[in-house]
Amino acid sequence: MARAVISDPRRRTAYEPLYDIDPQTGASVEVFYADRTLAMSFGMHGAGWFWWACQPACLPGAVTGPFADNYLAYRDALGSLKSVARFGKRPSSALYLRTQRGHSVS
């Protein structure tokens, strides 16, 4: 999991977005906080934590939320994605070597 670096010290760190990237496919999940105004731009009616998934070189998918906290949003994202077994985990060295040598991984 990665965290965004927020350069504005006045912004509360409690609302920093979280990112997770599948090491095999490059697909990503972003968990972020949206105030009421931003949430309304997504067609949602309340502030809270949201998530969306994105494939490499594509726009993000539909927004899901709101959730009471970032942990609940992240767990929902992992439970909703097909490649859930790989998100949040580093590839093993043997798996990494096989993919580098051109072997398929299932």
Q: What is the pLDDT of residues 37-93, one digit of tens each?
A: 999 998 998 999 999 998 888 888 899 999 999 999 999 998 887 655 555 555 555
How many domains does the chain fold into?
Answer: 1
Asked whether residue 86 is assigned to any structural domain, the reply reads yes
Residues 26-47, mean pLDDT to the nearest whole number = 91
Structure tokens at 27: 């697909």
pLDDT exceeds 70 at position 35? yes
Asked whether residue 43 is assigned to any structural domain, the reply reads yes
- Give the model's pLDDT for residue 89: 57
Name the residue range of residue 56's domain.
2-100
Q: How confident is the model at residue 7 (pLDDT cuts 50, 70, 90)?
A: low
Asked whether residue 80 is assigned to any structural domain, the reply reads yes
Residues 9-36, mean pLDDT to the nearest whole number = 84
Structure tokens at 85: 């077994």
- Give the model's pLDDT for residue 85: 53
Asked whether residue 71 is assigned to any structural domain, the reply reads yes
